[in-house]
């Protein structure tokens, strides 16, 4: 599934108004793919994602770093797959039918796959609902870009560039 082509039902930056018939403009938004780990909702900006895949055959790599599950072949390109749970010190979980690999493009030459529990949807999150986090905040993970409070959900926005800044 190519998530960059998915559009919400009412177009960009809109939602149904109180009367249920007209989309209401939400202002500038960030489009994110939402997924879950444990009972938390996370998001990654769509512009960083190439695609979302069902989990297939992940080949183990001897001597791989902690959290690296192995590699997969995506249309002739070898992609490293990382268990996103390990990045947040969560216990590993058995892969099931809902598990997905989110293929993230770090730059033009580097691509990585993130194993997640469940991909929910693509959602436009109004920028004014996002509280940015900086690495200087005490206890803030350098992997978290911000927290969004939107439609009765708390969404943890992932900073994939910082998450994989040490990978060559």
CATH number at 18 reads 2.40.50.180
With respect to residue 168, please indicate whether it lies within any of the assigned structural domains. no
With respect to residue 108, please indicate whether it lies within any of the assigned structural domains. yes
Task: Please give the Cα distance from 101 to 63 (Å, whole number).
Answer: 22
Q: What percent of the chain has pLDDT over 90?
A: 57
Q: What percent of the chain has pLDDT over 70?
A: 79
DSSP string over 52-66:
EEE---PBP-TTPPT
With respect to residue 24, please indicate whether it lies within any of the assigned structural domains. yes
Provide the domain limits for residue 89: 3-163
Task: Please give the Cα distance from 157 to 31 (Å, whole number).
Answer: 11
Please state the pTM of the whole predicted model: 0.79
Number of domain units in the chain: 1
Can you give the pLDDT at residue 135?
Answer: 52
- Matching residue, tokens 């590993």: 92
Segment 94-130, tens digit of pLDDT: 999 999 999 999 888 889 999 999 999 999 999 999 9
Tokens encoding 60: 């183990």
With respect to residue 33, please indicate whether it lies within any of the assigned structural domains. yes
Segment 21-52, tens digit of pLDDT: 545 677 899 999 999 998 899 999 999 999 99
């Amino acid at each position: 599934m190519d998530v960059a082509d998915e559009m919400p039902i009412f177009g960009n930056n809109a939602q149904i108004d109180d009367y249920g018939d007209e989309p209401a403009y939400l202002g500038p938004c960030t489009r994110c793919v939402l997924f879950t780990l444990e009972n938390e909702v996370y998001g990654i900006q769509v512009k960083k994602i190439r695609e979302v895949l069902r989990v297939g055959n992940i080949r183990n790599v001897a001597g791989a770093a902690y959290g690296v599950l192995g590699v997969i072949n995506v249309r002739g390109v070898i992609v490293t797959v990382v268990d996103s749970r390990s990045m947040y010190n969560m216990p590993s979980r058995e892969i099931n039918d809902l598990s997905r690999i989110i293929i993230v493009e770090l730059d033009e030459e580097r691509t990585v796959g993130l194993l997640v529990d469940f991909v929910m949807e693509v959602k436009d999150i109004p920028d004014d609902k996002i509280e940015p986090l900086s690495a200087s905040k005490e206890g803030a993970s350098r992997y978290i870009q911000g927290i969004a409070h939107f439609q009765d959900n708390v969404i943890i926005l992932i900073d994939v560039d910082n998450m994989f800044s040490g990978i060559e």
